[in-house]
């Protein structure tokens, strides 16, 4: 099957599984960071308000875990496809690997490890270094990692953008997500309700598999390139 020529507008909805072959550490389950570290003192707004330096240091450590990770053939297939048609990525990942692969149209539902924001003056700062260039804003306040922490809500503008892209696509491909983190997990339903052909790619069956028109089980880095052949 070659999907490259059959659809005009494609949304890839990605989760941690697409980055597994790039060796990005998982968050939950065995060996995941939340088994070792306490999110309540390191990854929520209350923790940041109480001790911004400690939270920033922890996020510098999280950046160091991902800093040397490289996009894999699944990320690369998506960015290559973007050169020939309307391709959008709606990702739950914060690792920046879609952009590293060259994708330009990326909606980051949960923010990015590589961005900081100042909640006082509103500045957004991109910082791709392993260590933060600065932990303080030019206005003098602490910068906050621009990621969705535990107990945070998703940015409404970002969610609305994802909603509208998914509503209007004609091919929707979910890759490497268990569908257990809400409200992101509700987004595929928009594709099921619309005109899109829906494909799921995962290592194993998920609770949502029966809703898809087609399912592929296996490694994203092997299966995705086989679905899109470029001339």
Smallest distance from ligand NAD to CB 154, Å: 10
Smallest distance from ligand NAD to CB 130, Å: 16
Give the residue with the Cβ less far from ligand NAD, 77 or 202. Answer: 202
Strands 86-91 and 144-147: unpaired
The tokens of 139 are what? 């206005």
DSSP-assigned states of every residue in 66-108: HTT----HHHHHHHHHTTTSEEEEEE---S-HHHHHT---EEE
Q: Which residues pair with 150 in a beta bridge?
A: 44
Smallest distance from ligand NAD to CB 16, Å: 3
Residues 6+ apart with CB under 8 A from 24: 16, 65, 66, 69, 93, 95, 97
Phi, psi of 225 (to 5 degrees): -60, -30
Question: Residue numbers of the site for ligand NAD (CB under 6 A)?
Answer: 15-17, 19-21, 24, 26-27, 92-95, 110, 176-178, 180-181, 201-204, 206, 219-220
Smallest distance from ligand NAD to CB 174, Å: 9
Q: Which residue is nearest to ligand NAD (CB)?
A: 17
Q: Is 160 exposed, middle or buried (0-12, 13-18, 19+ CB in 10 A)?
A: exposed
Give the residue with the Cβ less far from ligand NAD, 17 or 188. Answer: 17
Give the residue with the Cβ less far from ligand NAD, 71 or 144. Answer: 71
Helix boundaries (H) for the chain? 16-20, 33-36, 39-42, 45-50, 52-66, 73-81, 97-101, 156-168, 187-193, 220-227
Q: Which residues pair with 44 in a beta bridge?
A: 150
Give the residue with the Cβ less far from ligand NAD, 137 or 184. Answer: 184
Give the residue with the Cβ less far from ligand NAD, 81 or 220. Answer: 220
d(CA 163, CA 27): 25
Grouping H, G, I as helix, E, B as strand and the rest as coil, residue 130 is coil
Annotated catalytic sites, by residue? 110
Smallest distance from ligand NAD to CB 29, Å: 7
């Amino acid at each position: 099957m070659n999907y490259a020529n059959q659809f005009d507008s494609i949304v890839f909805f990605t989760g941690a599984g697409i980055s597994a072959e790039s060796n990005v550490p998982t968050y939950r389950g065995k060996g995941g960071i939340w088994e070792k570290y306490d999110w309540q003192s390191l990854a929520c707004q209350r923790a940041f308000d109480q001790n911004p330096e400690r939270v920033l240091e922890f996020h510098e450590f999280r950046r160091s875990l991902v800093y040397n990770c490289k996009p894999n053939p699944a990320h690369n297939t998506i960015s290559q496809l973007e050169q020939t048609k309307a391709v959008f990525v709606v990702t739950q990942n914060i690792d920046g690997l879609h952009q590293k692969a060259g994708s330009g149209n990326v909606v980051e539902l949960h923010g990015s490890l590589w961005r900081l924001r100042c909640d006082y003056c509103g500045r957004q700062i991109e910082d791709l270094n392993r260590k933060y260039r600065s932990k303080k804003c030019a206005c003098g306040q602490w910068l906050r990692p621009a990621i969705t922490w535990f107990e945070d809500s998703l940015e409404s503008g970002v969610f609305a953008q994802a909603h509208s892209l998914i509503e209007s696509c004609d091919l929707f491909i979910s890759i490497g997500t268990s569908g257990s983190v809400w409200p992101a997990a509700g987004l595929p339903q928009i594709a099921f309700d619309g005109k899109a052909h829906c494909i799921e790619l995962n290592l194993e069956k998920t609770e949502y598999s029966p809703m898809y028109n087609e399912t592929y089980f296996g490694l994203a880095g092997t299966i995705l390139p086989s679905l899109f052949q470029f001339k």
